[in-house]
Amino acid sequence: MTKRFLFAACLVCFFLAGCAPEPTATPTLSATPENTATPEPTLTPTPLPSVAVVNGIYIPEEDLARETENLIRAASDLGTGAPEDARSEALDGLIDQALLIAYARDSGYVSDPEAIDARILTLVTAIGGEGAFQDWQWRNGYTAESFRRALDAELAVAFAREKLITEALPQVEQIHAYQILTDSKSAAQGYLDKLALGFDFVSLARTEDTISGGDLDWIARGVLVYPELEDALFALGTGETTPILETELGFHLLYAAERSTDRPLSQQVRETVERLILSNWLEAARGSADLQRLD
């Protein structure tokens, strides 16, 4: 401020001098003065009071307070008890969000104020006008600024999610599996003995299960309820059978009829796989994150 004021004062003096009568003394030659104008400073936004920094992304205190309150309110609305440590749970969610935002920015995401304005306009119209929208913001703990920040975060997370899933899905392997499920280990062993004699697994599965024929359809990792069954299945080569596997459902024999990375995923399987992709990525990202807690 002082430099700018002095610079302006110099300009005023210069123009005043230009309006004064010319001096009668013979002017003397002097070196042309260099331009010493001070460049305008580059302003760096001051971060809001924050509780943590994750890979360069600040988590504001007000965001954590709002998300904590929203968790408690949601539990109350559902008739369940408040989380044992709502603040910690809310912070974990915001850390995951920050990891995705940092990844999005590193991958080329740029905030789009016009897209945020368009979403706000859509919400204002849907809610019933500006007054109703402002009331909704207030009831949910948002200021105008924090709501824009939340929308920007949502767009960045969507960008990151789409990129991660698009890159990972083509590598997802599926197995067309068949199963023989029995109530006793001896019965399962009987089927293994028949397979050793050259019987066809699919034909045997159809005799054991006359409804589905033992056909489990195409399976991707993360779909089966029992991880031990999934691990055993994906360890098979095409045309191979697992040993007897026991769960609370009974005794299983699994058969890998076909394998493919090109087959389209069904909608249900795709949704499961997408959740698994994000979950695995976040687990790895948390382990390598530059996390600084400020509270």
**pLDDT number for residue 185:** 96
**Could you tell me the two tokens for 80?**
């369940």
- How far apart CA 169 and CA 146 sit, in angstroms, is 34
Q: Which amino acid is at 228?
A: E
The 10s digit of each residue's pLDDT in 272-293 is 999 999 999 999 999 999 999 9
How many Cα atoms within 13 Å fall on the side-chain side of residue 138? 6
Predicted confidence band at 81 (pLDDT cuts at 50, 70, 90)?
A: confident
For the beta carbon of residue 25, count every other beta carbon within 10 angstroms: 6
Predicted confidence band at 46 (pLDDT cuts at 50, 70, 90)?
A: low
- How far apart CA 281 and CA 101 sit, in angstroms, is 13
Residues 6+ apart with CB under 8 A from 209: 179, 180, 181
**pLDDT number for residue 18:** 38
pLDDT exceeds 60 at position 30 = no
In CATH terms, the fold of domain 50-169 is Triger factor/SurA peptide-binding fold (1.10.4030)
The answer to whether 244 and 185 have CB atoms below 8 angstroms apart is: yes
pLDDT exceeds 90 at position 35 = no
Residues 6+ apart with CB under 8 A from 144: 137
pLDDT exceeds 70 at position 244 = yes
The correct answer on CATH 3.30.1360.40 for the domain covering 174-260 is no
Q: What is the mean pLDDT of the chain?
A: 85
Please, where in the chain does CATH 3.10.50.40 lie?
Answer: 174-260
Handedness of CA 53, 56, 58, 64 (dihedral sign): negative
User: Rounded to 5, what percent of the chain is helix, strand, coil?
Assistant: 55, 15, 30
- Best CA proximity match to 58, nearest among 44, 66, 47, 68: 47
The answer to whether 289 and 55 have CB atoms below 8 angstroms apart is: yes
Please, where in the chain does CATH 1.10.4030.10 lie?
Answer: 50-169
In percent, how much of the chain has pLDDT > 70?
Answer: 84
pLDDT exceeds 90 at position 106 = yes
pLDDT exceeds 60 at position 37 = no
pLDDT exceeds 60 at position 213 = yes
Q: Which residue has the higher pLDDT, 180 or 7?
A: 180
The 10s digit of each residue's pLDDT in 151-207 is 999 999 999 999 999 999 888 899 999 999 999 999 999 999 999 999 999 999 998
b/e map 81-100, b = 16+ CB within 10 Å: eeeeebbeebbeebbbbbbb
**pLDDT number for residue 249:** 94
Q: Which amino acid is at 191?
A: Y
**Could you tell me the two tokens for 218?**
């195409």
pLDDT exceeds 70 at position 44 = no
- How far apart CA 109 and CA 101 sit, in angstroms, is 9
- Best CA proximity match to 230, nearest among 239, 238, 220: 220
Predicted confidence band at 48 (pLDDT cuts at 50, 70, 90)?
A: confident
